[in-house]
Amino acid sequence: MQDLIVEGSGSNPAIRADWEAGCVEMKGDSYPENAFELYQPVIDWIESFLARESRPLRLQLQLLYLNTSSIRAMMDMLDLLQGAHDGGHAVGVEWRYERENERVAELAEEFREDYTFPFDILAHD
């Protein structure tokens, strides 16, 4: 399976899914008008990784602002991780944010409370 790379822009985060490393990175703001157009390939990539590999999958996020349709798409990705976790697959999320940007921490926290896999929210200065 190929790596997936999406260049970031004002309203799209930079996305990099690395098959070899078992890692999906997303960084930046996310408020495209049609979030599913942007995220469907990422959702598909995660789905095939979890289906074909037994290696761990990590999501490394440095997302800032998400519009509601991006939030909905993110939930679909995290639901896939939860399903894998329930089946014994090692998965985890690491969400990094700037300490003073407390809205990001609140957003990440609202996601985390719905899941039981390892989900770290890490502040940096």
Partner 1 sequence: MEQVDVLSLRAAFIQQGIMLCFNGPFSAMLIEEIGQALRKHMQGLQESQSAVTDVFSVYIELTQNIRHYTALRALEGADAHATLIVSRSDDGRYVVSAGNVVLPADGDALVERIAALARLDKAGLKAEYKNQLRQPRDPSAKTGAGLGLIDLARRAHEPLQCSLTAREGGLAFFSLRVVI
Query: Quick check: 82 binds partner 1 (CB under 8 A)?
Result: no
78 closest CA partner among 46, 55, 54: 46
Stretch that binds partner 1, among 19-27, 42-50, 52-60, 71-79 (CB under 8 A): 71-79
Torsion, CA 7, CA 8, CA 14, CA 16, rounded to 10: 0
16 closest CA partner among 58, 76, 71: 58
Query: Quick check: 68 binds partner 1 (CB under 8 A)?
Result: yes
Query: Quick check: 122 binds partner 1 (CB under 8 A)?
Result: no
Residues 1-30 close enough to bind partner 1 by CB under 8 A: 10-11
Among positions 15, 24, 26, 35, the unique one binding partner 1 when judged by CB under 8 A? 35
Query: Quick check: 103 binds partner 1 (CB under 8 A)?
Result: yes
Separate counts of helices (H) and strands (E) for the chain: 3, 6
CA distance 13 to 120: 20
- The contact set with partner 1 (CB under 8 A) reads 10-11, 31, 33-36, 64-65, 67-72, 75-76, 98, 100-104, 110, 114
